[in-house]
Amino acid sequence: MMFTPRAFKEENLVTITAFIKTHPQATIIAQTAIGLEACHIPMYWQDDGSEFGCLYGHIAKVNALNDIANLSAPWLVVFQGAGHYISPSWYPSKAATHKEVPTWNYHSVHITGNVSVLTEPEALIEILSKQTADFEANQPKPWSLNDAPVEYIQAMCRAIVGIRVDITNVQAQFKLSQNKTTENQAGVVLALKQLKTLRADEMAALVASVS
């Protein structure tokens, strides 16, 4: 479970799945016989008619997670977005009361689910095709699996397994200064914009969106 103060809790599944689509890099954490195992792979969410839907991705066959013994317990999948340090000096109220401390703003989605391993060539091709289409969408000349020799793609598929996570629980925390006054939120936005970095600009826009 993730500690999630009410002010930062996000429960809208449409909002959460949209976040996953724009931040597909996932951290998978699983309990194995020798302890916790983690890996980092892109995953995508799919509506399968269930309450929360499911996630798909793939890992190398030689990955330690590819062991039937690791499938008995649920896995935790974490998606994170832009994070940024927030200085107490950015709050106008700090000058008056000095009752402010540093913090960190961020997005985090924790998904728990039961996992199945997919080895059928058709399932692997479907996962790879979906991910490739998503990631190549903005390219001038999008690459597809059809651009590579069939034998080559088949050989690559023999080295991987597909992962399906049937989601049983979703927790999302979007910590964007929602617990601060409008004046202090405006101070955060102004200070972030003055840093003139891509990460700061992104966080400024996010805080402004909840002001």
The rounded distance, in Å, linking the Cα atoms of 203 and 199 is: 6
Average of pLDDT values for 46-67?
Answer: 96
- pLDDT reported for residue 99: 86
- Is the pLDDT at 211 greater than 80? The verdict is no
Beta strands in 61-194 (DSSP E): 75-80, 84-86, 103-118, 160-175
Compute and round to an integer the Cα radius of gyration of the chain.
Answer: 21
Tell me the residue type at 183. E
Tens of pLDDT, residues 7-36: 999 999 999 999 999 999 999 999 988 899
Average pLDDT of the residues of the chain = 95
Average of pLDDT values for 159-169?
Answer: 97
Task: Kindly indicate the confidence band of residue 62, based on its pLDDT and cuts at 50, 70 and 90.
Answer: very high
26's tokens:
């996932």
Tens of pLDDT, residues 69-108: 999 899 999 999 979 999 999 999 988 888 899 999 999 9
The percentage of the chain sitting over the pLDDT mark of 90, rounded to a whole number, equals 91
Mean pLDDT check: name the lowest of 93-97, 127-131, 197-201: 93-97
- pLDDT reported for residue 78: 98
- pLDDT reported for residue 11: 96
- pLDDT reported for residue 96: 86
User: Which positions ≥6 away from 121 have C-beta within 8 Å?
Assistant: 154, 157
Furthest CA-CA distance within the chain:
69
User: Which positions ≥6 away from 154 have C-beta within 8 Å?
Assistant: 121
User: Which positions ≥6 away from 88 have C-beta within 8 Å?
Assistant: 94, 100, 101, 102
Q: What is the pTM of this model?
A: 0.92
Which ranges in 3-143 belong to alpha helices (H)? Answer: 13-22, 92-97, 121-136
Task: Kindly indicate the confidence band of residue 1, based on its pLDDT and cuts at 50, 70 and 90.
Answer: confident
- Is the pLDDT at 111 greater than 80? The verdict is yes
Average of pLDDT values for 135-148?
Answer: 96
Average of pLDDT values for 121-150?
Answer: 96
